[in-house]
Structure 1
């Protein structure tokens, strides 16, 4: 089934979902916000990283806002279900959306959705940030990015890299490395992170871009070798791993993130209030410790800064997708 088929099937159910979830219309001013419960839509099943972060943040926001903040899991259709409901919600601050940096990839890959991830939403705040780690087969005769690329250009066998699936961040970071270095690498897609990591440990693939939480135990155990992290600085807990930037690749100065979004048209006063509350919440000791436990660092940004980051990321991935002719089968 194609994504367009999925979107078509989802559309009919979205309207009824909206009617069921809608709050009574209230003649309120932005200064009265919030006057009733706030809903955060998570477009994934309960129990994943996005869901855990949403619930951790929601509990803190409930106390700060004086109203319940309810996490509403709406998985399905490769996030189309949740996104469609959020995009069609009233722009009043009572329906929000949470996702990770995959949000910025959507417009480049999906052209026929009932919404546009950039135009249909506005950023509220970046909640937390995390680098992406490039790890390689420990049996390769390489110790850093320079030796890895040199090995790739001299070996008789083309290097490959795994990913969590075509069009995922782990795929696009790998394609960005191929473009930036001029090294022709073969992409090997997997269905999720676990099988990709296992094949890297087993030597079936040469490299993998992956989040710190998933790979750090394997780095510490010596079953894989980390040779680079994205972002402007070395990361806490991975201080011995140099950044791509310090190894001569400024294209990798950005990191992954989790963020909160509101439907386009949500008043500035409400968005700015939420942004300020998120920035306050992520620095609470109990919230901060949970985010660090998940392998991310609390950030909290202004809405304007988050919107700028989203668009910067979207522009980068659009170029990679176009250059590499990436499509979803």
Structure 2
């Protein structure tokens, strides 16, 4: 039995597929099966897969297109190993990815899901930015949006099954992680182990983006109800801001709502602190909440006119920052006079 199953769904991925496959077959860690499930491709994806003779590849072909969630669940059921590493057909795993993740999980058997930092690349492979996040901030921030890049994870099959596996909706990864962390420990490696490719076909760039957004928002609402109470509600515009979409509150500027959105974290955070959870660490949650409030304020201040900055700082109680702003503003005004 292999120590790891690498699970990769494929659907019309001919453009980047060979690079993705090669990145797995050339791993420093070699004791794995490479479970590739073709979900009804109509391009040359199957021909590309069949051109390989590596006996670690195990190809399964769906009779019809099932969609990503159902295909992943099928892969989980077929996997030979309890450790499953996710892979997407347009991404690149760095050569030591499997080795570093397997080594960590062997040394930390209490961990159920292990993700990593990633390098986000363009269609042509150029670096766009590095996605680097501190593992201790994940638990708090996963309440609001998906901090985890799906193809960066290695997880325990039996725990994912216990959590209910993937839903059939969009945002299937976020919905699964939200259930998984309620029972099992997660961690993120500081290492960059994946090159994650943004393409025109990526959900966030496609005609399905709005449906994906709506599903993710619904999961955020569910997470907040889990922590705060089943009748808890806040405006969708606040939820969008928590997910780093600031325009709904900033165009035009709605200072009162911005302040309320920031201050509401002081209501939510104590509930997260009180909820019993294997991932709960009081200091990490408080730090993550503090950083999120600071990020919200900074982002709002960047987007609103000068006349709105003072009331926002007052309504959020940031008086030290207000004093600095007024001092800087006064100095600049004086300079303009001479």
TM interval, shorter chain, is: under 0.3
Please identify the structure whose Cα radius of gyration is greater: 2
- TM-score when normalising by structure 2: 0.25
- TM-score when normalising by structure 1: 0.26
Tell which has more relative contact order, 1 or 2 (C-alpha 8 A, sep 6+).
1
